[in-house]
């Protein structure tokens, strides 16, 4: 007799407001236990120091994780001036100090150099792999860590508060792979001082916004009352900014068998006319779209040459 799989088939997104001093892996495990879910994953790591939006996918929602990971993100963070740490945040050991405290005008003048497509060197205490080893493991072992600069995109970087001469609060919209701690390091260097991240909060991941987030305590309370599903967003939530294609019941059957469906010229034209934040068109003229029926995602695939070709099929009930 085969071994019985643990957990239940739970499908959807938990938009978790991750608490301080918890790793992303610990957060996923906690949510998975509350739902007794078979399968879970998250869309973008948050350091233990960071709080805020950690989208956690359960069941079939894990098939959409990559789309959430590729989406833009918004952070609110504070830089404490005058002290640099080895980890570039408040958890690290002090490695340098400075008496210089940049004024607001100097900081504002420096910010344009950090907006747009820029090159950024990730922190040595990061999950970047070097010859098969995590950079943070090498750094903790006392080894010299050399990480090459990589391109990142920052769409907005603004000062939102200045509670004291020692600390400035910023808000940033950025793309995948941007390290906030590296911003603190590089901005401090440009301003001729030292600095590190003293607090960090992620307020949005793509279509997932802070206003929809739920705390772990709130989720645990719902689970205790047998109402955990009230804290679950639909699988389709991560695909809200991808062009949608309405399909019939007969087409649903074809797609679930991995077969392509024909797009009528009118439907293909309507699909092309859709204006979404992410128009993921390929060089071959194909266009990523999500097939929908009854308000639920049936499949992700490419619309091209008058056909919709499924690449990922969802198996949750319609």
State pLDDT tens for residues 234-280: 998 888 888 888 899 999 999 999 999 998 776 666 666 665 555 55
Same domain for 256 and 157: no
Could you count the other beta carbons within 10 Å of the beta carbon of residue 94? 11
Same domain for 88 and 186: yes
Residue 281: the pLDDT is 55
Give the Cα separation of 31 and 57 in Å (integer).
Answer: 10
Same domain for 158 and 254: no
Last residue of a domain, one of 191, 217, 237: 237
Same domain for 106 and 188: yes
Residue 317: the pLDDT is 64
Same domain for 269 and 219: no
225, burial (CB in 10 Å: exposed 0-12, middle 13-18, buried 19+): exposed
Q: What is the CATH number of the domain that holds 46?
A: 3.30.2350.10
Choosing from 17, 47, 173, 302, the catalytic residue is: 47
Q: Does the residue 5 lie in any domain?
A: no
* pTM of the full structure: 0.88
Report the domain count for the chain. Answer: 3
Q: Does the residue 257 lie in any domain?
A: yes
Q: Does the residue 7 lie in any domain?
A: no
* pLDDT, average across residues 28-51: 93
| 290 CB-near residues (< 8 Å, 6+ apart) | 236, 239, 242, 243, 244, 245, 297, 299, 300
Last residue of a domain, one of 237, 258, 282: 237
**What band does 303 get if pLDDT is binned at 50, 70 and 90?**
confident
* pLDDT, average across residues 302-318: 84
State pLDDT tens for residues 95-105: 999 999 999 99
Same domain for 136 and 178: yes
Same domain for 251 and 231: no
Stronger pLDDT, 17 or 123, i.e. the higher one: 17
* Confidence check: pLDDT of 222 > 80: yes
Same domain for 223 and 128: no
Residue 136: the pLDDT is 75
Residue 269: the pLDDT is 67
Q: What is the DSSP letter of 2?
A: P
Nearest to 310 by CA among 262, 260, 268: 260
Q: Does the residue 3 lie in any domain?
A: no
Q: What is the CATH number of the domain that holds 276?
A: 2.30.130.60
Same domain for 88 and 170: yes
Maximal CA-CA distance, the chain: 71
Same domain for 172 and 161: yes
Do 210 and 16 contact (CB within 8 A), yes or no?
Answer: no
* pLDDT, average across residues 188-198: 98
Q: Does the residue 126 lie in any domain?
A: yes
Residue 162: the pLDDT is 97
Residue 110: the pLDDT is 98
Residue 280: the pLDDT is 54
Q: Where are the beta strands (DSSP E) in 67-120?
A: 73-81, 83-85, 94-97, 116-120
Q: Does the residue 161 lie in any domain?
A: yes
Give the Cα separation of 273 and 276 in Å (integer).
Answer: 10
* Confidence check: pLDDT of 283 > 50: no
Do 308 and 261 contact (CB within 8 A), yes or no?
Answer: yes
Beta bridge partners of 236: none
Q: If residue 167 lies in a helix (H) or strand (E), which one and from where to where?
A: strand 167-174
Q: Is 47 a catalytic residue?
A: yes
Last residue of a domain, one of 220, 237, 254: 237
**What band does 141 get if pLDDT is binned at 50, 70 and 90?**
confident
**What band does 288 get if pLDDT is binned at 50, 70 and 90?**
confident
**What band does 215 get if pLDDT is binned at 50, 70 and 90?**
very high
Same domain for 197 and 296: no
Q: Does the residue 318 lie in any domain?
A: no
* Confidence check: pLDDT of 181 > 70: yes
Q: What percent of the chain has pLDDT over 70?
A: 91
Residue 243: the pLDDT is 86
State pLDDT tens for residues 145-158: 788 899 999 999 99
| 13 CB-near residues (< 8 Å, 6+ apart) | 55, 56, 57, 58, 61, 208, 232, 233, 234, 235, 237, 238
Same domain for 291 and 195: no
Which residue range(s) make up the domain with 99? 73-203
Q: Does the residue 29 lie in any domain?
A: yes
State pLDDT tens for residues 123-139: 887 777 777 778 777 77
């Amino acid at each position: 007799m085969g071994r019985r799989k643990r957990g239940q088939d739970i499908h959807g997104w938990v938009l978790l407001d991750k608490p301080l001093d918890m790793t992303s892996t610990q957060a996923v495990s906690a949510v998975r236990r509350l739902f007794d879910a078979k399968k879970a994953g998250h869309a973008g790591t948050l350091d233990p120091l960071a709080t805020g939006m950690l989208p956690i996918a359960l069941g079939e929602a894990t098939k959409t994780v990559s789309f959430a990971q590729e989406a833009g993100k918004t952070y609110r963070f504070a830089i404490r001036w005058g002290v640099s740490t080895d980890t570039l945040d408040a958890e690290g050991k002090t490695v340098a100090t400075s008496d210089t405290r940049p004024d607001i005008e100097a900081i504002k003048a420096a910010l344009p150099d950090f907006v747009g497509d820029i090159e950024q060197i990730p922190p040595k205490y990061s999950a970047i792999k070097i010859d098969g080893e995590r950079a943070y493991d090498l750094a903790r072992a006392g080894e010299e860590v050399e990480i090459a600069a990589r391109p990142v995109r920052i769409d907005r970087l603004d000062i939102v508060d200045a509670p004291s001469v020692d600390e400035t609060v910023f808000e940033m919209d950025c793309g995948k792979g941007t390290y906030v701690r590296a911003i603190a390091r590089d901005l401090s260097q440009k301003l001729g001082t030292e600095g590190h991240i003293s607090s960090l909060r992620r307020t949005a991941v793509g279509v997932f916004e802070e206003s929809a987030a739920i705390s772990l305590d709130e989720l645990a309370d719902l689970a205790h009352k047998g109402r955990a599903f009230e804290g679950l967003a639909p699988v389709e939530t991560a695909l809200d900014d991808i062009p949608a294609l309405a399909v019939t019941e007969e087409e649903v059957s074809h797609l679930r068998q991995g077969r392509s469906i024909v797009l009528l010229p009118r439907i293909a034209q309507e699909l092309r006319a859709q204006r979404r934040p992410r128009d993921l068109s390929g060089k071959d003229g194909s266009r990523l779209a999500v097939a929908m029926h009854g308000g639920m995602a049936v499949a992700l695939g490419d619309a091209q040459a008058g056909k919709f070709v499924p690449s990922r099929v969802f198996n949750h009930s319609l």
